[in-house]
């Protein structure tokens, strides 16, 4: 199924705009998993199995696996999500971006090797660097627009002809690059005014919004500023605040409780 269809169905079926980020950090794993050869897969798959009815997407961040030489665990984790929870699409957070011939290899990596349904990309090399991804019309192409980090303003807010750069990015993607309807944008929760600007410029294009939880973004501001007229259109991502909500043997149950709390907080602000 196409990423955008899966996302729509997960939004509705699970009544959730929550994206759980899968960022394994073995130092924070519960004691009974520490030192186990398969700890990364065991930890992440337990989180997934405890939350799959509560989320609209999962977002594994590739560096967290690659730094641990755990790419095999990432492959198995995505296969596990597809096999056990086929209604929940997977975004590979890789922030790729390169010349077209190399981009083609990143396409193969994200969609054929890892089996992701969508991938995050850096748009600053321009249209040709993204085209091989756009051509995979069944896959989601999620482009950085206004990121959540403090330094996002250094370049993304620069005035270009009377308008900040990130607004040019938002408009160009929504107007020119989204011919297959498979684009989405990353807009950080820590910049709520920019989030509102992006929503006003891109219509119903979905927004992936990291930056709540550990980074301190305000959930109410995210929902009010980023929702579509139908009260959806958002994948609100949280990693550490969910993954490490508990530190004991009941870590997956603690993650479930944290996910329910986030889903319900978001849903309170969706319609009112």
Ligand X SMILES: O=c1ccn([C@@H]2O[C@H](COP(=O)(O)O)[C@@H](O)[C@H]2O)c(=O)[nH]1
C-beta of 27 vs 37, nearer to ligand X = 27
Least Å from the CB of residue 63 to ligand X:
7
Among the listed residues 6, 14, 16, 148, the single contact to ligand X using CB under 6 A: 148
Beta carbon of residue 209, minimum distance to ligand X (angstroms, whole number): 9
* Long-range Cβ pairs for the range 213-217 (8 Å, 24+): 213/238, 213/239, 213/240, 213/241, 213/242, 213/262, 214/238, 214/239, 214/240, 214/241, 215/148, 215/188, 215/189, 215/190, 216/190, 217/148, 217/188, 217/189, 217/190, 217/192
User: Binding ligand X by CB under 6 A: which of 2, 113, 168, 240?
Assistant: 240
Examine residue 23 and tell whether it contacts ligand X (CB under 6 A): yes
Distance CA 113, CA 106 (A): 10
Identified binder of ligand X from the candidate list 6, 7, 14, 21, rule CB under 6 A: 21
- Cα–Cα distance for residue pair 191/173, rounded to 1 Å: 20
The encoded tokens of residue 168 equal: 């040019």
Residue from 236, 239, 256, 263 binding ligand X (CB under 6 A): 239
Whether residue 169 contacts residue 210, with contact meaning beta carbons closer than 8 Å, is answered with no
Active site residue 95: yes
- Applying CB under 6 A, what is the total number of residues that bind ligand X? 17
**What residues between 199 and 238 interact with ligand X by CB under 6 A?**
210-211, 213-215, 237-238
> What are the residues binding ligand X (CB under 6 A)?
21, 23, 61, 93, 147-148, 186, 188, 210-211, 213-215, 237-240
Q: Which residues are catalytic?
A: 95
């Amino acid at each position: 199924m196409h990423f955008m269809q899966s996302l729509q169905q997960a939004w509705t079926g699970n009544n959730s705009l929550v994206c759980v980020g899968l960022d394994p950090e073995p130092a924070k794993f519960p004691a009974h998993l520490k030192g186990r050869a398969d700890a990364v897969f065991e930890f992440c798959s337990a989180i997934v199995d405890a939350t799959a009815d509560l989320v609209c997407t999962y977002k594994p961040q590739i560096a967290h696996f690659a730094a641990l030489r755990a790419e095999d665990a990432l492959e198995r984790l995505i296969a596990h999500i597809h096999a056990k929870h086929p209604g929940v699409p997977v975004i590979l957070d890789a922030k790729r971006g390169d010349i077209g011939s190399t981009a083609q290899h990143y396409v193969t990596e994200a969609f054929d090797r890892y089996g992701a349904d969508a991938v995050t990309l850096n748009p600053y090399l321009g249209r040709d660097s993204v085209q091989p991804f756009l051509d995979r019309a069944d896959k989601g192409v999620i482009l950085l627009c206004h990121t959540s980090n403090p330094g996002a303003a250094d370049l993304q807010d620069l005035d270009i002809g009377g308008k900040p750069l990130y607004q040019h990015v938002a408009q160009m993607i929504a107007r020119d690059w989204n011919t297959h309807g498979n684009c989405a944008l990353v807009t950080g929760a820590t910049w709520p005014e920019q989030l509102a600007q992006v929503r006003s410029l891109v219509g119903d294009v979905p927004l992936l919004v990291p930056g709540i939880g550990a980074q301190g973004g305000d959930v109410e501001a995210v929902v009010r500023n980023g929702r579509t007229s139908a009260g959806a259109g958002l994948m609100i991502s949280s990693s550490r605040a969910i993954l490490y909500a508990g530190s004991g043997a009941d870590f997956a149950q603690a993650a479930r409780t944290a996910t329910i709390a986030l889903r319900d907080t978001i849903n309170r602000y969706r319609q009112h």
